[in-house]
Structure 1
Amino acid sequence: MHEMSIAEGLIQLLEDQAQSQQFTRVKTLWLEIGPLAAVDAHALHFCFEAVARDTLAEGALLEIIELPGRGWCLGCNALIPIRQRYDSCPQCGSHQVQVTQGDELRVKELEVD
């Protein structure tokens, strides 16, 4: 379950930022996650709650903003929606699709004290 290592990385990131930005508590953490990032949101919530105990993020809300997957078809030059890697282009059927959005996993915003 790589969600546990992601949650641990988030706590480390929050602790690093708390030192440089001088805050002592995280109230809400917003993450942007695309469908191609291979992250189970439910598992990430569970893991974040577990690793946040006894840290500045204990009790913090983890809000996940789900981004759509998008790609650029090299065959017909169309921008298309995609749900998973190696989806074919719905317009021309080509499998030569370059991901342009949807593999993100990033902190969007923090609410802190």
Structure 2
Amino acid sequence: MHEIGVLMEVVKTVENFAQKNGVTKIQTLVLQIGELSSMIPRYIEACYPAAIDGTMLQETELKIEILPGNGICKECNKVFNLIENNNVCPKCTSKHWEILSGKEFMIKEIIAC
């Protein structure tokens, strides 16, 4: 489970941002996680309390937004969700596509008190 290590880096990043910008209390941290990323949202949620323990984020709420894993068909240019369509274009049934989104893992928002 690599999520704890990634979360610890997120905490460092947020703390550095807060320090540089004079933020003393953070209410909410919003992460965006793509459906196709290697991060598993339920593991992120499970590891979050351990990652923030003893940090300035200790009292923060975590919100996770899931970004769709979309691809574009190389045959017909249809944009479609890869997971919902089992990696097959719903328009022409081609299996030749390119990923457009869904591999992201980002800090979207830091909401200060």
Stretches of structure 1 that go unaligned for 5 or more consecutive residues are none
Alignment correspondent of 1:109: 109
**Structure 1 segment 1-113 matched on structure 2, within 5 A:** 1-83=1-83, 87-113=87-113
Residue 6 of structure 2 aligns to a residue whose secondary structure is: helix
TM-score, scaled to structure 1:
0.89
Identity of aligned residues (%): 29
Counterparts of 2:49 and 2:24 in 1: how far apart (Å)?
18
Residue 18 of structure 1 aligns to a residue whose secondary structure is: helix
Runs of 4+ with >6 A deviation: none
Paired amino acid for 2:27? K
Tell me the CA shift for residue 25 of structure 1.
2.2
Counterparts of 1:96 and 1:12 in 2: how far apart (Å)?
40
Counterparts of 1:15 and 1:54 in 2: how far apart (Å)?
12
Counterparts of 1:35 and 1:18 in 2: how far apart (Å)?
28
What is the root-mean-square deviation in Å for CA atoms of aligned residues? 1.6
Describe the superposition over 1:28-77 as per-residue Cα deviations: whole angstroms up to 9, x where unpaired. Answer: 00111111012211110121210101101002111001122211111111
Counterparts of 1:59 and 1:83 in 2: how far apart (Å)?
35
Contact 1:49 1:59 in 2 (8 A): no
